[in-house]
Amino acid sequence: MRRFSVVLAIGLVLSGCPDDGTGPGADAGVSESAGVVREGGEESAYRMNVADSQFVIIVPKENATGCTVFHSHAIEATTIGLEFVVDYDDPGASSITANIAAAGLMPDDNALRAQFEETNDVDLSDSDRSTIRAGMLSEQLDAPDFPTLTFSAANISGVDGTGLTADVTATIKDTDSTFGLSFDATRDGDTITIEGEGTLDGSAHGMPAGFGSNCIQSDFRVVLKLVLEPGEQAAGVDAGVVEEYVPETFPYEGACDDDVGFPEASQALLKNCAGCHKDTPILGATVPLVDYDDWRTDSLRNQGRPLYETAAELMQLHVAEALHMPPSSTSPIDADDLSLALLWFERGAPDAKCEPDIIEGFIPRDPLPCGSPNYNDDIKPILSVNCEYCHYTGGNPDVPPLDSYAAGLLDASHPFYQPVSLWEASVHRIADRTMPPYGSAGDYYPAPPATFESDVQMLTTWIENGYPEEACP
């Protein structure tokens, strides 16, 4: 997963990003604050110093299969209404409430990312940021229905000193949760600085959700910095509007193509894409890419253009690029498959070839009750070395287990290799060099064993002989 952390910072100035309805500038408002400081029986008007204040939530990556291509994210709020009372006479009467407009959340300002160990690994492009923002607002926050996030601090133990505490209630998607905040409060002349940390339980608010949710931990580290200074300002905030995404289809209006149609191109596309982009996407994929209409529909993260156009760009990125497809955590796409896919994209994704090719599907085999080689004596040791690193019971639910004979008898979960069993599909995938993903994702996957080629031959012979479970008496 690209290593995935989320950072939410409030009240900072953003660097440039496209104002295209999804990037920074879309429905963003202005941070405002209204507060008082009580001391010696007197009240003074105070406001937040926007440029120096931060409210940060760090969400760590989950180290799970399929998460290697994720990286950290930094989400910054540009629209906040802050109301506060800092009471030096009675600290327990102090309170702070921050209303954050979801429409003003802008992702991955690179200067902000550099501040935190979790997010200083890579800079993200404006296009990446707009894509991330669309998914964040729709999947994580349900922003069209819940336009405001609220954080309220109460039971404040003190307002001057170190090791102070407060209870913070977070209201996100109309659900409340409470976490403890430990903080320090200092004064420099008339300026008050409050800095602290706490842990927000994202699962209480249905987060993480959607894209990459299996690669995100639910304990979010909250990092707070508020700089308060004398002055008056209204604290109202316009939450803005986040439009609900409605998919758009772009019908093919051309004639048949002399060289390629979807049935021919799908042989390459299904093989290399549909393992994750199946009818119900898995392992970080966000859209299905199985049927012809899937390729001619836009997506939440790439609105206004059919997915085949987006795929054409991503498949031609350098393999080291974060958004390269297929991702670096899988085996590289075969050169012939890539050429066929790019030809189809270039021709505008036609639905049919004028003189269609004859395409043969996979024919299931009936397993034999016994024989040689057999699962118990010959095949299980091979699977233990080459497959069970990822395919094990209790592992990632998106990765089918292959650590028992019965598990392999189930239908193949990959759309391209249906309707054969998982055992039969595994041989085809090895022949296609789409599995195991040796040599991909850096050092994440082990190197192939010295016996790999002979292991493949044994596995192939086993399948061709009806993949028996045990030796004959």
CATH of residue 207's domain is 2.40.128.110
Instruction: Provide the residue range defining the domain that includes 327.
Output: 262-346
Is the same domain home to 176 and 70?
A: yes
What's the half-sphere exposure (Cβ side, CA atoms, 13 Å) at 247?
A: 14
* Contact (CB, 8 A) for 334 and 433: yes
For residue 9, what are the β-bridge partners? 76
Q: Measure CA of the first residue to CA of the last residue in the chain; give whole Å.
A: 48
Q: How confident is the model at residue 29 (pLDDT cuts 50, 70, 90)?
A: low
Is the same domain home to 84 and 175?
A: yes
- Per DSSP, 374 falls in state -
Is the same domain home to 59 and 129?
A: yes
Is the same domain home to 342 and 443?
A: no
Of 346, 363, 388, which marks where a domain is finished?
346
Q: How confident is the model at residue 252 (pLDDT cuts 50, 70, 90)?
A: very high
What gap in Å lies between CA 71 and CA 124, rounded to an integer? 10
Q: What is the pLDDT of residue 1?
A: 25
Is the same domain home to 331 and 206?
A: no
Is the same domain home to 22 and 126?
A: yes
Of 328, 346, 364, which marks where a domain is finished?
346
Whether 359 maps to a domain, the answer reads no
Between 119-123, 235-239, 268-272, the lowest mean confidence (pLDDT) is in 235-239
Q: How confident is the model at residue 150 (pLDDT cuts 50, 70, 90)?
A: very high
Is the same domain home to 91 and 197?
A: yes
Pair type for strands 75-77 and 105-107:
antiparallel
More confident residue, 405 or 362: 405
Whether 435 maps to a domain, the answer reads yes
Give pLDDT tens digits for 222-246.
888 999 999 988 666 666 778 788 8
Give pLDDT tens digits for 52-100.
988 877 877 777 766 766 777 777 777 888 999 999 999 999 999 999 8
Provide CB contacts within 8 A for 445, sequence distance 6+.
329, 389, 436, 437, 438, 439
Is the same domain home to 82 and 219?
A: yes
Provide CB contacts within 8 A for 471, sequence distance 6+.
370, 371, 372, 374, 376, 377
More confident residue, 276 or 177: 177
* Contact (CB, 8 A) for 395 and 401: yes
What gap in Å lies between CA 78 and CA 74, rounded to an integer? 13
Q: How confident is the model at residue 378 (pLDDT cuts 50, 70, 90)?
A: very high
Whether 470 maps to a domain, the answer reads no
Is the same domain home to 206 and 68?
A: yes
Is the same domain home to 66 and 210?
A: yes
Number of domains the chain contains: 3
Is the same domain home to 38 and 129?
A: yes
